[in-house]
Structures are given as structure tokens and as C-alpha cells.
Chains A and B, each alone.
Chain A
């Protein structure tokens, strides 16, 4: 479908009954919505995403998760423009295979993150419109989360939300996991059960207030025993 989108001066989509001439422009990008979240624990990592694929006022699919398994210890969440998400994950898979063949071992989470940074920067002047978050276990078996911007700037975090509802989720995570803006509170380490429950609660809140987030929540829990997937229904409206 051509992404000739009709936009007014203020950047919002125009109403159906427009009152004046409008310039149509081809845009190679389109915004398909979706929210991704990753949390790193002591010996686990969680990558979660909603499964709604939208464009403008329509929903293309209610079952399009944004978490992709890369290796037994790493999962990536990609949200933004779905076309670029698909291509990017294909390229990452190919590069993982090439590394495995040349070096006779699987790529570690840190190595995948560094590689993704250069892949994204390679398109500095025509970027992949994708907000990536990698979640996995590092070489010591501890949880690791790496968050990226569309052109490859990245850093390791404990938790990060990306995508359309990121601005709603991130402050809640800052408070609950980072203990920000709370005084006199004991900083307890995050258990896996508590983290999973927090992720579910946080997405339920996001689905309430963000139109692009909803339908279902796919959670991937990465531990040394492998990757476990869980699906939780969300608001479908």
C-alpha cells in the first residue's frame, strides 16, 4: 500500500472533509505502532511487546508480535516501521549465521548489540525507522538490556521501554524498578515473578491510553534454561 499520507500543517492527520488543496508526497516510511519493553534481572531478562500492527486509523493485524528470537540467550524487540523491522531482523539473522560459521560460536548479547549499532549506522543517511531493544544474558549469566536509537547509538540498561507508548511506560519503570523519586525505600532486587507481573501491569496501563498498543502481550523470558514465551490478552479496542 502506498504511504501517501495526507498531513496538515500541525503534523496531525487531516480530517476526512478537508477544506483546501493538499500536497501529496511519497514517504518511504510509515508508522506501524507497537510498544516494546525489556527488563534485566539478576539471572534473567524479559522482553515483552504488544501484538497490534496498525497504520493510521486501521489495524492490520492483532497477532503481530514484535519480539524476535536471535539466539538461545538473546531476544530483540523492534517497533516502528514494520517493513524495516522485518528487513533488519533478516539481516541480523544472516549476520549471526555468518559469525557462527566464521568463529564457531554463537554471538553473545554484547556482541550482537555492538554489531547492530554498526548495521544501523550504515544507513545513517536513510535510516531504519526502528526502535530496537535487545534483552538477554551476558557472558556471566546476568540479565542485560541494550537500547538503541534509529541510527545506532546504544547503551546497556537495566530496563527500557521503546515504541509508541514508551513515554508512558518509562516513568513507571523508573519508579518501580529504579526506585526514582522515592525516599526511604529499601532497594530490593527484582525477582522474576515480580518482574513478569510488573510487565503485565504496565502494558495493561499502556493499552488503556495509547491507541497503537493493545490486543495481546507477548512476553519472552530468557534464562539459562532457555526462552519461555507467554501470551496475555489486552484490550482490543
Chain B
């Protein structure tokens, strides 16, 4: 089975190789008032843009969000399974699952498939008893807690913007949202594999809410006008 797979999916196979959907630029950072999650919405299959309207933020439950980077099917399938596990936890323990526990469940699920070709780089963001939570989990087995992550082909460009914007302490919610939006926009500007729209979410103590969805073309015109 393994040799058949390597024969078809990798190397110089037929011109029409099976193309799975890959991404992206996604970022999330903690700040005084919670967690900001910003993502682009482009999905590529090789060099073809398969969609400009992909939802890369997966709503696990009303207070937990997961992001999608890497293989689209891998991310949406495993995060949907995570949503199920979180619900089972809630029913068994009569309390909401913590972000640390949810991210650990996801990490352990995909670790069993390590080396088999899953491609998933996700951030689990939420608010629990200990405050805002942000974990990065990937298909290699990494699971790290942090205050800022950017994942995907456009992540380096996004880091540049957010790192400089976060220097000033105590951001307001609006400033933080603008920062996240700007970072994704800059990444779509320079990364060919990112684009479409910027989807922005804010996670606070009551849960998450969707702040905005802005087309990158509109943002470009807006920022150009501001420069002038």
C-alpha cells in the first residue's frame, strides 16, 4: 500500500497528480482583552486557486476557536473530531474544557498519525478559568503555549507586522483588531498562496465573536488612501 502511495502522490507521476487543498496565512495573539485571531481565505491546489472564500477559523464551540493551515481536509476533519471530544468532556465533567486540555486532545489524536503524511498547523484559541489561552498544535507532534503565533506560507510577513505593533503595551480591542487585519493583509500582499478575505475573530471572557470579514482588495484601497 505504501509503495502505491509513493508512486502516485509524490515524485514525477502523471501530469494530473491528485491535488489536495493547502493554505495560507493565519495568526493569533493574546492581549489585555483576550485573543485576536486573524486568517486569510485562499485555498490552493498546486498553482490553481481553488477557492477565495474558505473559512479557516473553525468554531469548535462558543468559546473555543481553531485555525486551519496546511491540508484543508486534515484541519477541518480533526478539529471537527476535537469539537466532539470537547462536548463529551463537558457532558462527563459538567464543566467546560480548558484550552490546554483541548489542545492536548488534538495533539494526541494526530500524533498517532505522525509520519503518515498529515499536514496540519493549527492554533487552538479560547478563554477558560485561567484567562485567555493560545496553543499551537501541528501534525509533527508540536504543542506549545504562547502569546503570539503566525502559521502558514505567509507567516513570516505577518510576524513582521504583529511584532512591531505589539511593542506598544495595552492595546485596545479596536487597535488589536486593526493590527491583526493589517498583518494578514501584508502577508497576502507578499505571499502568492495567501489572499481572498481577512476574517477576524475576538475571543473574550464571554466567548468569541466574529469582528469582521474584509476583502483584501478593499483593504488595499483603504490603506493606500490612508497613506496619501
Chain A positions near chain B (C-beta within 8 angstroms): 5, 7, 9-13, 25-29, 31, 117-118, 120-121, 124-127, 129, 147, 149-155, 157, 164, 166-167
Contact = CB atoms under 8 A, between A and B. Distances in A.
A10 B21 CA distance: 23
13 contacts: A5-B14, A11-B15, A27-B4, A27-B13, A29-B14, A125-B117, A126-B5, A149-B21, A152-B76, A153-B72, A153-B76, A166-B48, A167-B48
Given A25-B7, A28-B4, A155-B53, A150 B14 contact: no
Contact of A155 (B5, B8, B55, B116): B55
Interface in B56-76: 71-74, 76
- Interface core residue of A5, A25, A29 (most chain B CB under 10 Å): A29
Contacts of A118: 77
Contact of B13 (A11, A121, A124, A125): A11
B18 interface: yes
B50 interface: yes
A9, A13, A121, A153 pick with most chain B CB within 10 angstroms:
A153
Contact of A28 (B8, B50, B116): B8
A118 B118 CA distance: 16
Interface residues of B, number: 31
A150 B8 contact: no
B14 A31 contact: yes
A124 B73 contact: yes
Contact of B20 (A5, A9, A150, A167): A150
B16 A121 contact: no
B88 interface: no
Contacts of B73: 117, 120-121, 124, 149, 151-153
A167 B77 CA distance: 26
Closest 10 CB pairs of A and B: A153-B72, A153-B73, A151-B73, A11-B15, A152-B73, A149-B21, A31-B16, A121-B77, A153-B21, A150-B18
Interface of B: 1, 4-5, 7-8, 12-16, 18-21, 43, 45, 48, 50-51, 53-55, 71-74, 76-77, 116-118
Given A11-B13, A126-B4, A129-B18, 11 more contacts: A7-B13, A9-B12, A11-B15, A28-B4, A29-B8, A149-B21, A151-B71, A153-B20, A153-B71, A155-B54, A155-B55
A150 B18 CA distance: 7
B47 to A, nearest CB: 9
Given A9-B12, A152-B73, A127 B117 contact: no
B14 A7 contact: yes
A121 to B, nearest CB: 5
Nearest to A114: B80
A126 B18 CA distance: 11
Nearest to A147: B51
Nearest to B45: A149
B20 A27 contact: no
Contact of B12 (A11, A31, A166): A11
Nearest to A33: B16
Contacts of A125: 1, 5, 116-117
A84 to B, nearest CB: 10
Given A28-B4, A118-B77, A167-B48, A12 B72 contact: no
Contacts of A26: 4, 7
A5 B17 CA distance: 13
Contacts of A155: 51, 53-55
Contacts of A28: 4, 8
A157 B118 CA distance: 26
A168 to B, nearest CB: 11
